[in-house]
Amino acid sequence: MTQYYNVEAVRKLFPVVEKMTYLDSGFQTPLSKPVKDALETFIKQSYETAGPKSIWIDRMESTRAKVAALLNAASEEIAFTKNTSEAMNIAANALPLKAGDNVLMVHGDHPNNAYAFLNLKKKGVEIRFIPMTEVVDAASFRPHIDANTKAISMSHVTFHAGHRFNIESVGQLCKEMSLYYVLDVMQAVGVVPIDAKKVGATFIGSGTHKGLLVPQGLGLLYWDKSRTELEPAYLATISVANPPADFIALPDDMAPAATAGRFELGNFNLPATHALGAALDLISEVGVEKIQAHCFDLGDRLIAGLDELGVRLVGPRDRAHRAPHIYVAALPAEEWIDFFASKDVRLSPERDGVRISLGMFNTEADIDRFLQVVKERNASEGRTTKAA
């Protein structure tokens, strides 16, 4: 296999993956040494000095700049949130939608995106789901657009079968039809390169506990800062343009901040922003393009192995339409998931099988181990997997 980067050296930064076959980055990342160190730095400073808050805030701002660089955005276009769900809800409620308007989404896409928009039904906004097909692009949405369509929202990469939808093509369509465009990149970010400007997104939301290598509790929101008409549904001191110096709220001066800070509320998850800063350093050192290429190659090996075993791949096979790092094998989860656990192979149950999801530290040996476990069980039980 091509060595795009020193995978063995990266692997050493994630020591827990030596104790098991970890194929579950689409669920959550294992903790790496640099991220652990960053969290410990924060804890030590808080424990020993009661906390240099201004330094922590400076570090958070430097993390914000790193997020912006990752998405080809400006720092002022990045807000920190709690997770993807919060980012999608902020986005959905900032769009100037009224009764009778409609938003297009993809049926069966992640519910944390869907509910954020379905909740707008209270305002009389209609949510229309287009079918989930192997390829979703502008042509998939175009026939569903009418005069009342105001926005499209979708995932970049699907969690349940590893589709990688054509977000550039849908972005072009949104531009052409003057639609707002909201993306959930939770399963893509950190592994698939994302260029907010090229895509033409209005908002991009994500958590950080998968490809961005941070424990749960921190999310991101990109906001196209040229869309100044998009205002936050909630307000706090940090979200206004002129926060009162004397901490007495100014009822007549509540214009939102000129930056994505308008969507932020109160104090930040500072330990997690430290962690994310370290994670983004590691990701940029390795390079997202290289992580993607490495995962694609591992995916090719997995698909070839599944073919040999007669196990169907659930999502798209073609590199043009599949995510590099998320694969579902049609092995019924209720029959297989405990078995994999008993063999120290960590993966997730999914709608149509078991999900193998990869991170920058995975190797060919991890793929081979997964395939070997399937092969041995089938041999010992005298079954073929063709019917699965």
Positions in the binding site for ligand PLP (CB under 6 A): 83-85, 110, 112-113, 155, 159, 184, 186-187, 207, 219
H or E stretch including 34?
Answer: helix 33-49
Select 185 or 371, whichever has its Cβ closest to ligand PLP.
185
Phi first, then psi, for residue 150 (nearest 5°) are: -120, -20
Which burial class, exposed, middle or buried, applies to 157 when counting CB atoms under 10 A from its CB (0-12, 13-18, 19+)? Answer: buried
Q: How far apart are CA 18 and CA 41, in angstroms?
A: 25
Minimum Å gap between C-beta 216 and ligand PLP is 7
Select 7 or 106, whichever has its Cβ closest to ligand PLP.
106
Query: Beta strands 203-207 and 180-184: pairing type?
Result: parallel
Minimum Å gap between C-beta 187 and ligand PLP is 5
CA distances from 9 to 15, 36, 191, 237, 271 (A): 11, 17, 18, 44, 26
Q: Which two tokens stand for residue 335?
A: 């029959």
Select 7 or 275, whichever has its Cβ closest to ligand PLP.
275
Minimum Å gap between C-beta 285 and ligand PLP is 25
Q: How far apart are CA 101 and CA 99, in angstroms?
A: 6
Minimum Å gap between C-beta 155 and ligand PLP is 4
The answer to whether the CB of 284 falls within 8 A of the CB of 213 is no
Select 358 or 371, whichever has its Cβ closest to ligand PLP.
358
Q: Which two tokens stand for residue 1?
A: 């296999």
Minimum Å gap between C-beta 186 and ligand PLP is 4
Chain centroid, CA 180 distance in Å: 20
Select 52 or 111, whichever has its Cβ closest to ligand PLP.
111
DSSP per residue over 53-72, as a string? HHHHHHHHHHHHHHHHHHTT
Select 115 or 339, whichever has its Cβ closest to ligand PLP.
115
Select 106 or 374, whichever has its Cβ closest to ligand PLP.
106
Minimum Å gap between C-beta 93 and ligand PLP is 15
- Of 309, 313, 317, the C-alpha closest to 372 is 309
Q: Mapping DSSP to helix (H, G, I), strand (E, B) and coil, where does residue 8 land?
A: helix
Minimum Å gap between C-beta 384 and ligand PLP is 32
